[in-house]
Structure 1
């Protein structure tokens, strides 16, 4: 079974929290296991999955490493090139 997930654009903190939680579950990691890797409490990991806007950049990078994600940044496609029916 492959754990590969396609790249996803994120535009909200809610989406980020959902992505981090889904990646953790795909890797069959508990919140406590992720917390231990990040030096946080299980309660804090639970909170941050719901409030990803409060993650520090350092925490985000560590979390990505812990759950097997890669953080990439790039320019958005222009609005003219997107399918307007998706909006």
Structure 2
């Protein structure tokens, strides 16, 4: 039986980091294996997991594809639009 896909709203770079690391580990990929899939070094993967604000959009899309995530954008439901200073 396949588990239902999950959706996780992200509001901070820390949340993005946690999601990327958890998804990589859930797929039993090492940083080195992910690095090979996205064309980066293992050291760069390690750095970006700790500093996701330095990910380029292209790297993020490649990373998501490599670990089976889909990137979606949308309006917040029922939440006033606010500025997130971390971004």
Distance 1:23 1:65 in 2: 11
> C-alpha distance in 2, partners of 1:13/1:67?
18
Q: What is the RMSD of the two structures over their aligned residues, measured on CA atoms?
A: 1.6
1:32 aligns with 2:17: no
TM-score by length of 2: 0.84
Shift of 1:6: 1.4
Question: Which structure is higher in RCO with an 8 Å CA cutoff and minimum separation 6?
Answer: 2
Gaps of 5+ in 2: 81-87
Change in Cα spacing, 1:51 to 1:5, as seen in structure 2 (3 Å) is: farther
Secondary structure, aligned partner of 1:24? helix
Decide which structure has greater helix share.
Answer: 1
- Structure 1 residues 33 and 3, CA, compared in 2 at 3 Å: closer, same or farther? farther
Contact 1:3 1:26 in 2 (8 A): no
Bigger Rg, which one? 1
Superposed structure 1 runs of 4+ greater than 4 Å apart:
1-5
Q: Residue 63 of structure 1 corresponds to which residue in structure 2?
A: 63
The residue aligned with 2:19 is 19
CA 21–10 in structure 1, closer or farther in 2 if over 3 Å, else same: same
Unaligned runs of 5+ in 1: 81-87
